[in-house]
Amino acid sequence: MSEESDSLRTSPSAASLSENDLPPPAEPAGYVCSLTEELVTKAREELQEKPEWRLRDVQALRDMVRKEYPNLSTSLEDAFLLRFLRARKFDYDRALQLLINYHSCRRSWPEVFSNLRPSALKEVLASGFLTVLPHTDPRGCHILCIRPDRWIPNNYPITENIRAIYLTLEKLIQSEETQDGFPIRIKAVHVVNEPRIFKGIFAIIKPFLKEKIANRFFLHGSDLNSLHTNLPRNILPKEYGGTAGELDITAWNAVLLASEEDFVREFCQPVPACDSILGQALLPEGLTSDAPCDDSMRAVKSQLYSCY
């Protein structure tokens, strides 16, 4: 997940390498922009992305990877590297660090990322623990719906839920319109039907969050009218007081299962063991592979994440 930054663009000349310094890898697939004119303008204003500089910036990041991390097993395709440039507003150094962090987490948390493919998570997907709603919000953000009460701890460990979330996020950012962080940005977290204890816990931790992050959390309780002031009823299913019909998990599950080959290619290939190149793993705080299956976590009935 990325945070917005006002970082200045690093000079491309600092990242350029002579041909003699580079190994002879195969040329990455060429990039074809799929953004609408509206999104191109938005990317220019919010991310400092200039179409006329885009491929130059990608090449600069590619050169940095080849020079500073020649043994890093990573895609160097234009579209893949663009994810990290956009997530860090085309600051080369910070984009490179995000790329290293991304691979560090993947290699150091094998119980989550090994064999990460839809067919390995059919039980989680069938449970309805998470899905993506078919309609975006007025800003064009996808809405990820997570329902913790659908998780039965005796059926599978909590890491399977985490794997399903990462699987979904990876699929979402394959679309160029959704790229901006994870490289992905969480624009808002709407929690409904939360128990009182959740509100108390959040009140304790809120002062320790950055103001920008804290302001993206909305606790609605059972007040669906409060939810509708942020997410229109016409994009929400009936379960959340919406008019978009019953919540259907089958459509998104089908999208994921149809992407099996993509995930096999990306996550089911042998990778080098974590070494000094990547350093210490950067795991999400508070999540470990042996986290106890606590039924109290299921008390939060559902959460809606509006993101892109």
**Residue type at position 288:** T
**Averaging pLDDT over each range in 48-57, 79-88, 143-152, 180-189, which range is the top one?**
143-152
pLDDT of 214 higher than 80: yes
**Averaging pLDDT over each range in 32-46, 73-87, 263-277, 282-296, which range is the top one?**
73-87
- The encoded tokens of residue 91 equal 């600051």
Residues in the chain: 308
Q: What is the pLDDT of residue 176?
A: 59
pLDDT of 15 higher than 60: no
> pLDDT, tens digit, for every residue of 16-72?
444 445 444 444 457 777 677 777 787 787 778 888 888 899 999 999 999 999 988
Reading across the β-sheet that carries 217-221, which strands appear in turn?
A: 130-132, 142-146, 302-307, 186-192, 217-221
Q: How many CA atoms lie within 13 A of 67 on its CB side?
A: 15
pLDDT of 280 higher than 70: no
Answer yes or no: pTM beyond 0.85. Answer: no
Q: How far apart are CA 260 and CA 120, in angstroms?
A: 10
Q: How far apart are CA 57 and CA 88, in angstroms?
A: 12
- Give yes or no for a contact between 164 and 117, defined as CB atoms under 8 angstroms apart: no
CA distances for 250 relative to 127, 133, 256, angstroms? 11, 11, 10
Q: How far apart are CA 210 and CA 297, in angstroms?
A: 24
> Considering the chain, what is the average pLDDT of its residues?
78
